[in-house]
């Protein structure tokens, strides 16, 4: 997992928001660079479990723009919660 040392950034629930903010990028910039609608970017950050349901192409584009691995964006805690359902 990607390590970020800023306490404020680490307080964000969303992996996507932590990485984006640590890169100094706005939602609008990420949206423009990745080709992902800004409302979708905001939704992935506000409800982190939604990134797990995004298409592989979407997650790949976001990861590519942020210079991270797809695995860094996935919210593993939400995968394990839904496993038994």
Could you tell me the pLDDT band of residue 84, with boundaries at 50, 70 and 90? low
d(CA 20, CA 82): 26
Digit-coded pLDDT (tens) for 22-79: 999 999 999 999 999 999 999 999 999 999 999 999 999 999 999 999 999 998 887 7
Would you say 51 and 73 are in contact if contact means Cβ atoms under 8 Å apart?
Answer: yes
Each domain of the chain, given as residue ranges in start order, spans 12-80
Q: Does the domain made of 12-80 have the CATH classification 3.40.50.720?
A: no
Query: What are the residues whose beta carbons fall under 8 Å from the beta carbon of 34, sequence distance 6 or more?
Result: 41, 58, 61, 62, 64, 65
Which pLDDT does position 83 carry in this prediction? Answer: 53
């Amino acid at each position: 997992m990607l390590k970020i040392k800023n306490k404020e950034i680490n307080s964000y629930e969303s992996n996507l928001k932590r990485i984006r903010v640590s890169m100094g990028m706005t939602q609008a910039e990420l949206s423009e660079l990745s080709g992902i609608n800004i409302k979708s970017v905001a939704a992935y950050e506000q409800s982190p479990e939604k990134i797990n349901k995004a298409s592989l192409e979407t997650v790949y584009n976001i990861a590519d723009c942020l210079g991270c691995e797809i695995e860094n964006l996935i919210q593993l805690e939400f995968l394990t919660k839904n496993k038994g359902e």
